[in-house]
Amino acid sequence: MPKTKLLQQLARKHGTPLFIVDHDALRRNFAEFRRWLPRVQAYYAVKANPDPAIVRTFYEAGTSFDVASIGEFRLVYEHIKRLSPKARQDFIWDKIIYANPIKDTATLEELDRYKPLVTYDNLAEIGKIRRHAPHAGLALRIRVPNTGSMVELSSKFGAAPGEAVDLIAAAFDAGLSVEGLCFHVGSQCTNFNNYVQSLNMSAQVIEEAAGRGYRLKLLDIGGGFPAPYDGSVRRFRELARILNAELRRLFPKEIEIIAEPGRFLVATAATLVAEVIGKAERDGKRCYYLNDGLYHTFSGVLFDHCQYHIKAFKRGHDQLSAVFGPTCDALDTICQSEPLPDLDLGDLVYSEDIGAYTHASSTWFNGFPPAKVVHIST
């Protein structure tokens, strides 16, 4: 069945706004990641989309998980225990990394009994971990270039490479064990040189640490793997060739390599179908109002700096139109210049590649509920 026909059929059955997740697409994305980066174990970044059904599909496909809150940890841990009831507690390192460098004390105390792998990037965090999660293993996050990434992260997280080994030494002096390094080049990174520089910086830190008697055995290369939102994004296999060459050159086989893909795995696996609930002419421009907006599935426009294109099922001459969400806030503006045909009230539109950092940030602002979620396999 053609995709557009399926989308309309699902919308008639379930109503709108409707967030449709294709689990075959999830599996294809993970298979592509594993095919082109065979040395790298994928830890799905749950924050991109924490839907339990998505967690289940990725777990069954063989992923591990990157969590950044105790809520995400509980979601993944309990889900895995239900799927694998005989799993030992020490499975946790193989399946979950707590990759938020800043953690509150209650979170650390709850995590401690699982002997988790957690990230850190400063002295104060070492003190908290020593007091509240002394059984944790640590990975030091270093600050790396984020130039050209859609969402920059280096201003908030990461130790300067020059202080990295001192922070590793401080953790060992506190009676903790540092297992390795981690970094993040920024979300939707289309500047592949960020990875090259980051890998070289990491290799230098690992070498300096070894020279001071600290042997690290793990490198987490983070996320940032770009989703193919449009033709300007270079193919993943091109990035993988660069990464594979650098990993072979810089890191011996005994160094375990992991990564935290989120957007790459889920962005292209979801489509939103919405309804035109309003229509107006303002200053010579056609304006449409949808029953989904910036406070809901299109939250990525604001929080993720990502523009999602609106497409019509109806054919006709396109004209540049403004598209708004349903709330009474002027911030709820999806786009100002989307080419759309003449639409009527009740017509349906759709937006593709909207699976990452979208529905996960939906609110109930103004009393409007998030889009209903439907899971399919095409």
pLDDT digits (tens, 9 = 90+) for 155-189: 788 999 999 999 999 999 999 999 999 999 988 98
Residue 290 has pLDDT above 90, yes or no: yes
pLDDT (0 to 100) of residue 164: 97
Q: Which residues are catalytic?
A: 328
266, 285, 318 - which closes a domain: 266
pLDDT digits (tens, 9 = 90+) for 212-266: 999 999 999 999 999 999 988 999 999 999 999 999 999 999 999 999 999 999 9
333 shares a domain with 321:
yes
Say what angle helices 123-132 and 105-112 make with each other, to 10 degrees.
Answer: 50
274 shares a domain with 259:
no
For position 44, which CATH number holds? 3.20.20.10
pLDDT band (50, 70, 90) for residue 84:
confident
Peptide bond into 116 cis (omega under 30): no
311 shares a domain with 332:
yes
pLDDT (0 to 100) of residue 88: 56
Tokens of 250: 């810089």
Mean of all residue pLDDT scores within the chain: 94
The Cα–Cα gap between 248 and 242 comes to 10
pLDDT band (50, 70, 90) for residue 154:
confident
pLDDT (0 to 100) of residue 87: 63
The Cα–Cα gap between 32 and 122 comes to 35
67 shares a domain with 143:
yes
Average pLDDT over residues 185-199: 92
Residue 361 has pLDDT above 70, yes or no: yes
For position 273, which CATH number holds? 2.40.37.10
pLDDT band (50, 70, 90) for residue 152:
low
pLDDT (0 to 100) of residue 90: 55
358 shares a domain with 221:
no
Torsion of CA 45, 101, 156, 191, to 10 degrees: -40
64 shares a domain with 181:
yes
219 shares a domain with 129:
yes
Percent of the chain with pLDDT over 70: 97
Range of the domain at 7: 3-18+268-376
The Cα–Cα gap between 212 and 12 comes to 65
pLDDT (0 to 100) of residue 266: 98
204 shares a domain with 71:
yes
pLDDT band (50, 70, 90) for residue 112:
very high
Other CB atoms within 10 A of residue 184 CB? 29
pLDDT band (50, 70, 90) for residue 2:
confident
Q: Which residues pair with 249 in a beta bridge?
A: none
Number of domains comprising the chain: 2
186 shares a domain with 83:
yes
237, 266, 295 - which closes a domain: 266
pLDDT (0 to 100) of residue 89: 56
The Cα–Cα gap between 337 and 119 comes to 42
The Cα–Cα gap between 265 and 356 comes to 8
329 shares a domain with 251:
no
276 shares a domain with 196:
no
158 shares a domain with 9:
no
pLDDT (0 to 100) of residue 317: 94
* pTM more than 0.85: yes
pLDDT (0 to 100) of residue 1: 73
225, 246, 266 - which closes a domain: 266
